[in-house]
Amino acid sequence: MAGDHSTAHIIQSLVANLLISVAKGVAAVITGSGAMLAETLHSLADCGNQLLLLLGVRMSRRPPSEKHPLGHGRSLYFWSFMVALLLFSGGGVFSLYEGIHKLGHAGEVESVEVGLAVLALSLAIEGWATLKNIVEMNKRRRGKPFFQYLRDSKDSDLVVVFGENAAACLGLIFALLALLLASVTGDPRWDAIGTLAIGVVLIGVAVFLAIEVKSLLVGESADPEITAAAGALAVEDPKITRVLRLITVQQGPGEVLVALKLGFAAGMTVEQVAGTINEFETRLRGRCPEVKWCFVEPDIPRT
């Protein structure tokens, strides 16, 4: 289920990427490495992406209004989707372009020691940020397999930040190998190959994130635990005879809509039905605090 949606994981990644992008940019100028330039632009793009996520979190916290009666929770999903698009275009596509250009116009890579030192430092910082993301996700996945949690999680901001950081780590490893091979073999085309590999990684991660966030953006069902809890609470009440329809929708981080059509015992008055519905809603919210909206349609007994 959705957890606490603090912005600490976003801010720590933003600070890390700001420092890393400056170091990479200086190293790219000194070495003339295409892979280093691709990594510099990747880190700068990540900084912009994290600012967009912070904007999304802030907008998702706005209260419901007459125009948006169910709140603004899906704003975070919209900005998460924008991050995936920017990661695809600003990071992946540009890296592919730069790699193809370098293959045809390969230039000598200089000051390799500087580039390797900066990449190693960047990998250490990115690795630390990624491990922090994993620790946070381990708290929330509650025994669910890690990759299944990535597919099922409603915490789009955490998944996007983890995707960015994991892609950055893999990209840095490719950049390190490319720069090292270019230096050892004297063939600068290895640098171009590393740049292409970084582009492929970024595009792959961006496509995965876009697919997952798009599902939330268009209206994904809530966690199965909430559906099961709502059904179980209805069955436990002797005044409710059957569950005819049960729908859950994830409206935003920690915000779930539940709609049910319930059958009630014969002979109940309108007041008794209304009271039973109110009791059911209270018990459901007590068990599942994520349920922010609950709509129940009563059905007449069958004769």
Residue 251, CB half-sphere, CA atoms under 13 Å: how many?
22
Cβ proximity of 10 and 157 under 8 Å: yes
Q: Is pLDDT of 121 > 60?
A: yes
Residue 2 lies in a domain: no
Q: Is pLDDT of 37 > 70?
A: yes
In the block, tokens 């409710």 appear at: 240
Where does a domain end: 202, 218, 234?
218
Q: Is pLDDT of 197 > 70?
A: yes
Q: Is pLDDT of 142 > 80?
A: no
* Cα-to-chain-centroid distance, residue 277: 35
- pLDDT-based confidence at 6, cuts 50/70/90? low
Residue 284 lies in a domain: yes
- pLDDT-based confidence at 207, cuts 50/70/90? very high
Cβ proximity of 256 and 248 under 8 Å: yes
44 and 150: one domain? yes
- pLDDT-based confidence at 1, cuts 50/70/90? very low
Whole-number Å distance between alpha carbons of 214 and 205: 14
CATH number of the domain at 277, please: 3.30.70.1350
Question: To 5 degrees, how large is the angle CA 160–CA 78–CA 230?
Answer: 85
DSSP 243: E
Percent of the chain with pLDDT over 70: 95
Where does a domain end: 188, 218, 248?
218
Whole-number Å distance between alpha carbons of 232 and 37: 56
Mark out the alpha helices in 32-111 (DSSP H runs): 34-60, 75-86, 94-104
| Alpha-carbon torsion (123, 124, 126, 131), positive or negative | positive
168 and 278: one domain? no
- pLDDT-based confidence at 303, cuts 50/70/90? low
Q: How many domains does the chain have?
A: 2
276 and 168: one domain? no
- pLDDT-based confidence at 301, cuts 50/70/90? low
Residue 32 lies in a domain: yes
94 and 236: one domain? no
Question: To 5 degrees, how large is the angle CA 155–CA 293–CA 264?
Answer: 130
Q: Is pLDDT of 227 > 80?
A: yes
Residue 27 lies in a domain: yes
Q: What is the pLDDT of residue 12?
A: 81
Q: What is the pLDDT of residue 260?
A: 95
Average pLDDT over residues 107-135: 83
Percent of the chain with pLDDT over 90: 28
Whole-number Å distance between alpha carbons of 42 and 39: 5
286 and 139: one domain? no
Where does a domain end: 218, 246, 276?
218
Q: Is pLDDT of 5 > 60?
A: no
Residue 3 lies in a domain: no
232 and 197: one domain? no
Output the average pLDDT for the chain.
Answer: 86
- pLDDT-based confidence at 289, cuts 50/70/90? very high
Q: b/e string for 234-269 if b means 16 or more Cβ within 10 A?
A: beeeeebbebeeeebbbbbbbbbbbebebbbeeeee
Q: What is the pLDDT of residue 10?
A: 84
Residue 205 burial class via C-beta count within 10 angstroms: exposed 0-12, middle 13-18, buried 19 and up: buried
Q: What is the pLDDT of residue 179?
A: 84
Residue 15 lies in a domain: yes
Please state the pTM of the whole predicted model: 0.77
205 and 65: one domain? yes
Domain region containing 248? 224-299
82-93 pLDDT per residue, tens: 988 888 887 788
Kind of pairing, strands 240-252 and 255-264?
Answer: antiparallel
119 and 17: one domain? yes
